[in-house]
Structure 1
C-alpha cells in the first residue's frame, strides 16, 4: 500500500508519509487475529463491567463517582460498545476510530480501556509526531473529563494527573514496540540487501571467470588450430612426400585436433551451463615458464625456426606471472606462424625478483602475403594487452626496423 492509501490519511497532512513500521496488510495474519480478538473481548468486557457498576448504586464505582443519570449511563454504554466493536477494524479505520474515541474521552467512563488501546495502536502504526499530537489531544480531553465527571475523594489535578499518566505510559509502551518492529524491518532489509549483493557478486565472479575462460580458449585454440592448418597445408601441397613425413604430419594433425576438441569441450561446457562451486572438478594445471621449451618445439615442428632464451629461474617466478608470460609467448609464436611462416623467431625471457619479468618475441616482417593466410579474429594482441594490464604489467607491439617486435613487462615481487 502506498502513502496515499486511506489508512495513511491521518489527523493532518504530515501524517501522510509512508510508515515502514506499520503498513496495514490486506489480510490478517494469525497473530493479528489473536491480538484483535483479545483487544475486542477485553474492551467489551470492560465496557459491560463499568456499565453494570454504574447501574448498581451499592457498587464501589457508583460510590466513588457518585450517582450517574440513567440517560448518561445509557449513552456511555452504547457509545463505548460501538468503540469497542470498532477495535476489530482498528488497523483499517484507525483515523475514524481515533477521532471517535477522542470525543468519548471527554465524558465516557466505559470507553477508558478502548481509548488506551487506540493510543497504543496509534503509537505502533504511526510516526512519533502523530502520536505526540494525538496523546496531547487525549490529555486535553482528560482535562475536560475531570471537570465533567469528578472522582470522589480526589482533587481535580490529582484525577487529571492519573489519567494523563496512564495515557503517556500507553504511548511510551507503543513507542518501544514500534522501535523494535522498525529495528527488525531494518535488519531484514539489510539481510535481504546483503543476500542480493552476494548473489550479484557471485554472478559477476561467474561472468569474469567465463570471460577468462574465453580468453584461454582463444589462446589455446589459436595455437592448436594454427598447427593443424600448417600441417594440413603441407599434406595438401606435398602429396608426393615420403610416407614417413606424411605419417608424421598426420600424427601431428590428429594429436592437435584431439587436444583442441578436448579444450573446446571443457570451455563450451563451462560457458553453457557453469558448475556449482561444490561440484567443480579441480582445474587442470596451467602452463608456466617451464613449459616454454615444449611450446618452442611445437612451433619448430610447424616449420618456424625458434630460438628460445630464458634468463630466469622458471621455478621462482610467481605462478600468475608465469602463466601470463606463457600466454604472451604462445600468442607471439602463433602470430609468427600466421604472418611469417618459416621465418626465424627469437624469444627472450629475462628478469629477476624485484625488477620484473621482461619478454620479447621478434620475427622478420613478411615479405609476401601467403596465398592462403590462416584466418584469425584480430583480437589476440588486444587480449594479451588486457591480460598484461590485469597482471599489473604492460605490453607493446609494433615494427622496429624490419622486424615485428612484441614486448611485455610483468611484475615479479622480490
Structure 2
C-alpha cells in the first residue's frame, strides 16, 4: 500500500478529484439517457440512475476507502451502467495505491460484473461486450494506474536519496568545519606559541639584567618590538583563514627552517643545527618537520631558557627523515606537555610517521620523529 494513502488532500488532489467526479457524472448521465429505450423494469432503470449518482459522489472518498469502494462499484455495476466510469476511476485508484495483483483482482471482479450485467440487462452479445470492451478497458486502466504508482515510487526514492545526500553533505560540511577549526587552533599554537616564547626570553633577560647597558636594552627592546609585530602579523594570517576558503591557511615550508633557527639564535637561544637532507622533500613531510622543530624550540625556550638546543634533521629518499630536538634538563611540569605534543603526534600520524618524546637517561628532554620520505 502506498504511504501517501489517506494523507491530507492537496490542491492538486482537489483538482483531480473534481475532474474525475464531473467526468464520471457527465458520461454516466449520457449513458443513462441513451438507455432510456431499453426493455427493462422501471425500478431497475431508476436503480441504475441512483446507483450511478451514488458512485460518482463516492469518488470524493476514494482516497480514504479505495478497496471498499471498488468492491461496492463491482456490485453496483452488475445492474448500473451510469456508474461505469466511476467504477473505472475506482479501479485505477486501487492500481495507484496498491500492489499490481490487488488491482488485477479488482479488474477481474469488474469483468465478472460486466458479464453479469449482460445477463441482468439481457444484452444481445455478452461475449463480444466482455472481450472487446471490458477486458482491454479495465486492464488498460490497471496498467495506467500501475505506471502512476511506479512513477510516484521512483520520485519518492529520488527524493529520499536527495534528502540523504543533503544530510550526508551537511554532516561532511560540519566535519570539515571541525577539521578547519582544529587546524586553526594548531596553527595558532605553533605560530603564536613560538613568537611569544621569543618575547618571554627577551623580557626575562631584561628583568634579570638590571645592569645592562643602554645599547643592550635598546637592542632587546627592538627585538621585542619586532617579535611582537611579527606575532600580530602571524595572528592576522591565521585568523584570516576564517574569511578565506578552506585550505588557504598560510603554511611554512621545509626551506623556512634556517630562518626559524636564525630567529631563535637572535633571541639568544644557543641552537646547534645539523641539517643533512639532500633532495626535495614532499611538501607535507617538510611542513611537518618544520612544525616539529618549531614546537621543540618553543618548549625549550619556555621550560629551559638559555639552555643549548641541539637539532638534528637528517634523511634521504627511501630511508625517511629523522628529526631530533633535545635540550638539557628542562623544567617541565606534568601539565605543560599537553596540547602541543599531542598536535605533533597527530601531524606525524597524518603523514604516516611516528613521534616520541620524553627524558633520556642523561636527563635531557628529547623530541624525536621519523617521517616517511619516498624514493
Question: Mapping of 1:376-387 within 5 angstroms?
Answer: 376=336, 378-387=338-347
For the 8 Å contact 1:303–1:341, the answer to whether it is kept is no
Does residue 409 (structure 1) correspond to residue 370 (structure 2)? The answer is yes
* Alignment match of 2:190 (pick from 193, 197, 219): 219
* Alignment match of 1:353 (pick from 307, 313, 317): 317
* Alignment match of 2:270 (pick from 300, 305, 310): 305
Unaligned ranges ≥5, structure 2: none
The CA deviation at 1:389 is 0.3
Is the partner of 1:175 in helix, strand or coil? Answer: helix
Is the partner of 1:226 in helix, strand or coil? Answer: helix
For the 8 Å contact 1:361–1:406, the answer to whether it is kept is yes
For the 8 Å contact 2:358–2:366, the answer to whether it is kept is yes
For the 8 Å contact 2:44–2:79, the answer to whether it is kept is no
Encode CA deviations 1:78-120: one digit per residue, 9 max, x unaligned.
1111211222343244345324312212221111111111111
The CA deviation at 1:25 is 4.1
Does residue 39 (structure 1) correspond to residue 20 (structure 2)? The answer is yes
What's the TM-score, normalizing by structure 2? Answer: 0.90
Is the partner of 2:355 in helix, strand or coil? Answer: strand
For the 8 Å contact 2:40–2:121, the answer to whether it is kept is no
* Alignment match of 2:160 (pick from 186, 189, 193): 189
The CA deviation at 1:132 is 3.5
Query: Could you say which residue in structure 1 is the equivalent of 2:92?
Result: 120
Encode CA deviations 1:304-362: one digit per residue, 9 max, x unaligned.
21111111137x11111111000000111112222222222211111122221111112
For the 8 Å contact 2:199–2:227, the answer to whether it is kept is yes
Query: Could you say which residue in structure 2 is the equivalent of 1:50?
Result: 31
The CA deviation at 1:36 is 2.0
Query: Could you say which residue in structure 1 is the equivalent of 2:226?
Result: 255
For the 8 Å contact 2:354–2:369, the answer to whether it is kept is yes
**Matches of 1:123 and 1:243 in 2, distance apart?**
98
The CA deviation at 1:281 is 9.9
Count of matched residue positions in the alignment of Structure 1 and Structure 2: 372
Does residue 175 (structure 1) correspond to residue 140 (structure 2)? The answer is no
Q: Label 1:99 to 1:326 Cα distance change in 2 as closer, same or farther (>3 A).
A: same
The CA deviation at 1:195 is 2.5
Is the partner of 1:107 in helix, strand or coil? Answer: coil
Query: Could you say which residue in structure 2 is the equivalent of 1:5?
Result: none
Question: Mapping of 1:66-145 within 5 angstroms?
Answer: 67-145=39-117
**Matches of 1:342 and 1:50 in 2, distance apart?**
109
Q: Label 1:123 to 1:107 Cα distance change in 2 as closer, same or farther (>3 A).
A: same
* Alignment match of 1:340 (pick from 294, 301, 304): 304
Cα RMSD after superposing both structures: 2.4
Query: Could you say which residue in structure 1 is the equivalent of 2:180?
Result: 209
Encode CA deviations 1:163-218: one digit per residue, 9 max, x unaligned.
24421221111101111121122122222222222222222112112111111111
Unaligned ranges ≥5, structure 1: 1-14
Query: Could you say which residue in structure 2 is the equivalent of 1:389?
Result: 349
Encode CA deviations 1:342-395: one digit per residue, 9 max, x unaligned.
2222111111222211111122224xx49xx9x956321111111100111110
Query: Could you say which residue in structure 2 is the equivalent of 1:236?
Result: 207
